């Protein structure tokens, strides 16, 4: 079968041109619609992210405020704890020296006396450094036995004994260092 077209070519060219314009317009409209929808989606996402960022920043400011308050409270707690520790230490050690001197004076034997005494405190003990004098070697020996038997003094260190005076009246001077261990009460 043979097809014969009776319409003039100019009319066919115009119609072909109109059809291409319609197709191009449809394609442009479709592309415009796709671009518009993608742009709208990006805009909507950016707007949502901006709103979420504002909420998160507001929450962060609240958390920063709370953290600041917590840090202030921790500082106050630390200061109060330090004061409490000082008070507890004072309460624990307020009777240490009277108790020490009472126990120490009971251990002194006749013929021995203390010329000077210095103490250095440790956690559960006290180092006592003394400069002593005695009228005889026996007095020194008796006092050292008394200190050792008391079990309140450890690491007793007797220094060099120096004899002073003449044959009628002799005096024996010596340093003594000991560690006093306080009895638990």
Strands 170-181, 125-134: pairing kind: antiparallel
Residue 177 lies in a domain: yes
Indicate the residue among 45, 79, 94 that finishes a domain: 94
For residue 64, the model assigns a pLDDT of 94
What CATH number does the domain containing 169 carry?
A: 3.30.1360.100
pLDDT band at 153 (very low <50, low <70, confident <90, very high): confident
**Are 166 and 129 members of one domain?**
yes
For residue 184, the model assigns a pLDDT of 53
Domain of residue 134, residue span = 96-181
* Residue 144 pLDDT greater than 80, yes or no: yes
For residue 131, the model assigns a pLDDT of 96
Q: Which two tokens stand for residue 20?
A: 């291409």
Neighbours of 10 (CB within 10 A): 8
Tally of residues, the chain: 185
Angstrom distances, CA of residue 27 to CA of 30, 35, 37: 5, 12, 15
Q: What is the pLDDT of residues 69-124, one digit of tens each?
A: 999 999 999 999 999 988 887 777 677 788 888 888 888 888 999 999 998 888 77
Reference 172, options 130, 116, 133, 117; nearest CA is 133
Q: What is the pLDDT of residues 12-46, one digit of tens each?
A: 888 899 999 999 999 999 999 999 999 999 999 99
Q: Which two tokens stand for residue 144?
A: 């050292």
Q: Which helix (H) or strand (E) holds 127?
A: strand 125-134
Angstrom distances, CA of residue 94 to CA of 27, 120, 174: 98, 15, 30
- What's the number of domains the chain is made of? 2
Residue that the structure tokens 């409209």 belong to: 29
Q: Between residues 40 and 165, which one has the greater pLDDT?
A: 40
Residue that the structure tokens 């020996």 belong to: 141
The model carries a pTM of 0.49
Residue 155 lies in a domain: yes
For residue 185, the model assigns a pLDDT of 47
Residue 1 lies in a domain: no
């Amino acid at each position: 079968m043979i097809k014969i077209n009776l319409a003039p070519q100019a009319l066919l060219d115009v119609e072909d041109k109109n059809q291409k314009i319609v197709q191009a317009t449809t394609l442009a409209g479709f592309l415009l619609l796709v671009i518009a929808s993608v742009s709208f989606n990006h805009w909507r996402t950016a707007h949502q992210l901006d709103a979420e960022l504002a909420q998160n920043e507001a929450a962060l400011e609240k958390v920063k405020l709370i953290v600041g308050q917590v840090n202030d409270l921790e500082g106050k707690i630390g200061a109060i704890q330090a004061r409490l520790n000082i008070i507890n230490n004072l309460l624990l050690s307020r009777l240490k020296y009277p108790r020490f001197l009472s126990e120490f004076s009971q251990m002194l034997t006749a013929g021995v006396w203390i010329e000077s005494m210095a103490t250095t405190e440790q956690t559960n003990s006290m180092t006592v450094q003394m400069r002593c004098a005695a009228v005889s070697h026996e007095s020194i020996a008796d006092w050292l036995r008394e200190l050792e038997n008391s079990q309140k003094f450890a690491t007793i260190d007797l220094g060099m004994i120096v004899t002073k005076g003449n044959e009628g009246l002799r005096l024996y001077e010596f340093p003594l260092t000991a560690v006093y261990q306080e009895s638990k009460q």
